[in-house]
Amino acid sequence: MPNPNSDSSTPYSQPINHLLLQTGATCPSNMEHQECGNPCADTCSNQDRSKLCEEHCTDGCFCPNGTVFDDITQKGCVQLNDCPCYYKGKVYKVGESYSRPCQNCTCEQGRWSCTQLDCPGTCSLAGGSHISTFDGETYTFHGECSYVLAAVRDTHNCYTYIL
């Protein structure tokens, strides 16, 4: 199952293009000029980018301390609490959620917080060697032994075997 929190393949997750200031130029949005800013600034979709940076500081436009660049909606610098999320081509605001089979995910500070749900599943054995597992995978297995197809553990850590 893919992890929605790792969906960093947004079209917006490219490095910030820091604008080098020329005489009379101003910074866009709510960015501010710094003579020695971190060239690997954190963004909504890459909140730990600055921790991995080995580059030296550079002159340019950067987000004020305590904010990150919203590289998802391109709305400038925002508080981390206001970062949106991105999943499968759609932008989600903080507090919005989506559901998939067996999982609900809510956008929190630019990251997905997902809850696993109880999910029905079936497994089967057909023809003695064709197996379908709970996660939908199928296998063909030939063997001469006894195998457990499924087991249920109760509250006393005892197993009931289902063959």
Phi, psi of 29 (to 5 degrees): 50, -135
Q: Hey, which bits of 89-158 come out as E strands?
A: 90-92, 97-100, 103-108, 111-116, 124-126, 130-132, 138-140, 150-153
Q: Residue 79: beta bridge partners?
A: 67
Cα angle at 26 between 23 and 32, to 5 degrees? 120
Sorting pLDDT into bands at 50, 70 and 90, what band is 73?
very high
State how many domains the chain has: 2
* Domain carrying residue 136: 124-162
* Domain identity same for 74 and 149: no
Structural element, H or E, at residue 36: strand 32-37
> What's the pLDDT score for residue 158?
67
Residues 39 and 73 in one domain: yes
Residues 83 and 143 in one domain: no
Q: Is residue 1 in a domain?
A: no
Residues 109 and 147 reside in one and the same domain: no
Question: Are the CB atoms for 58 and 18 separated by under 8 Å?
Answer: yes
Q: What is the mean pLDDT of residues 15-37?
A: 67
Confidence of residue 101 (pLDDT cuts 50, 70, 90): confident
In a domain, 131, yes or no: yes
pTM value is: 0.60
CA distance 16 to 27: 13
